[in-house]
Amino acid sequence: MKIGIIGLGNVAELHVKALAEVDATLFCGGWNRTYQKAKDFVSKFGGRAYESVDELLSDSNVNAVVVCTSTPSHFEMAKQALMAGKHVLLEKPLCEQPGQIRELAEIARSQSRICMPSHNYVYAESMRRLHAHASSGKLGKVMNFWAIYNKRHDASIGAPDLTMRELMIHHVYCMLYFIGRPSSVFATGSNVHFSDPNADDQLMITAEYPDGKIANLWGSFSADDRSREPWSVYFKIIGSEGSGVIPWDVTKFGEARLPFWDDATYWDSFVQVESFFVNECVGKGAVPLSTLDDAYDAAVILDAARKSLCERRAIPVAYGS
Per-residue pLDDT of the chain (321 residues; tens, 9 = 90+): 999 999 999 999 999 999 999 999 999 999 999 999 999 999 999 999 999 999 999 999 999 999 999 999 999 999 999 999 999 999 999 999 999 999 999 999 999 999 999 999 999 999 999 999 999 999 999 999 999 999 999 999 999 999 999 999 999 999 999 999 999 999 999 999 999 999 999 999 999 999 999 999 999 999 999 999 999 999 999 999 999 999 999 999 988 889 999 999 999 999 999 999 999 999 999 999 999 999 999 999 999 999 999 999 999 999 986
CATH of domain 121-316: 3.30.360.10
Burial (CB count within 10 angstroms: exposed 0-12, middle 13-18, buried 19+), residue 60:
exposed
* 107 contacts 83 by C-beta, under 8 angstroms: yes
Confidence at residue 320, expressed as pLDDT on a 0 to 100 scale: 83
* 133 contacts 107 by C-beta, under 8 angstroms: no
The pTM score is 0.96
Of 167, 289, 143, the closest CA to residue 218 belongs to: 167
> How many C-beta atoms lie closer than 10 Å to residue 206's C-beta?
18
Any bridge partners for residue 316, and if so which? Answer: 184
Residues of the chain with CATH 3.40.50.720: 3-117
Residues of the chain with CATH 3.30.360.10: 121-316
Query: H-helix or E-strand containing 220?
Result: strand 214-220
Confidence at residue 255, expressed as pLDDT on a 0 to 100 scale: 87
b/e burial code for range 156-170 (CB count within 10 A of at least 16 → b): ebbeeebbbbbbbbb
Confidence at residue 321, expressed as pLDDT on a 0 to 100 scale: 64
Q: What is the largest CA-CA distance in the chain?
A: 57
Edge-to-edge, what's the strand order for the sheet holding 243-247? 243-247, 233-239, 142-150, 214-220, 202-208, 184-190, 315-316
CA 199, chain centre distance (Å): 21
Q: Which fold has domain 3-117?
A: Rossmann fold (3.40.50)
> How many C-beta atoms lie closer than 10 Å to residue 35's C-beta?
13
* 106 contacts 83 by C-beta, under 8 angstroms: no
